[in-house]
Amino acid sequence: MTNVFVYGTLRMGGRNDSFLEGAECIYSQCRVRGKLLNTDKDYPVMQPDNSSWVFGELYSVTDSQMKTIDVLEGYEDGRSDNLYHKITTPVWNESGEECRAVVFTAARSINYSTHSISSGDWCVNKYIKRDKLLYFAYGSCLDDERFRSAGADHFFKHVFGSGVLNGFEFRFSVKTNDGGKADIVENKAEDVEGKVYEIPAEALEYLYRREGVYNRIYRPAIVLVSIAGVLYQALTFIGIKKTVETAPTSLYATEIMRGGNDCFSNHYKEKLTRKLDRFHEG
């Protein structure tokens, strides 16, 4: 078995994700050091670069699958005109844990590159070009009071449904001067519940500012959210620098519980209440 990090068309929902059918997804949100570039061939390429990140998914694949991926990526051992280089590099998950994996970096494919992708995430880059997007809120954006006070509530009128993000855990692991803020961390034994809004592309600027994307507090990510048993791609935001959980302010906790009242299951409400009570007891 071989670990392989994928960042383009092999990712979940990508046009070549069938090449990874049956492969174990170790992490659906992880990163390597590199610079991501778009191409005029509708796939991305990356170059090693210690000053930036490329985000993707980590899989464990069989030897047979690895050979098939080699062919897809235009790679052959010893050939001088490969489309990609095949290297082994460190991969980090969202909690900072490290492993090593194969990744394909630009060789001849660099000739097709057009511009860099500042987010480092090809799925985000493609998804936010839509006129309408699904946005998965699991923290204070569940509540509409701050939407109204910011004059942005018109962006969030359409609630698409109650969503469940499988394989992630809710934590207050983004530490700020104003208490702990909501975050999600991969954990196959846990689920995160929230609200899925259908929003126009014009709402992105408000969300990016509110979530501190420009200040590198959160980063945008695309996740698969289950709504009434059907999986949908949705935009969400994940904390970049994670810490030990920190107690949220009472106002922030109120916003989450009030906003989630009509979309959380009773089980999830009880679990969040117990978490908040433990902070109070501490």
pLDDT at 31 exceeding the cut of 70: yes
> 169-173, 201-205, 274-278: lowest mean pLDDT where?
274-278
Indicate where the chain has its CATH 3.10.490.10 domain(s). 2-122, 128-281
Q: What is the pLDDT of residues 235-269, one digit of tens each?
A: 999 999 999 999 999 999 999 999 999 999 999 99
In CATH, which superfamily holds the domain spanning 128-281? Gamma-glutamyl cyclotransferase-like (3.10.490.10)
Q: What are the catalytic residues?
A: 211
Decide if domain 2-122 falls under CATH 3.10.490.10.
yes
Rounded to the nearest integer, the mean pLDDT of the chain is 95
Q: What is the pLDDT of residues 81-100, one digit of tens each?
A: 999 999 999 999 988 899 99
SS3 state at 255: helix
pLDDT at 281 exceeding the cut of 90: no
φ/ψ bin of 120: left (φ > 0), alpha (ψ from -120 to 50), beta (otherwise): left
Length, in residues, of the chain: 282
* 93 contacts 53 by C-beta, under 8 angstroms: no
Output the pLDDT for position 166.
97
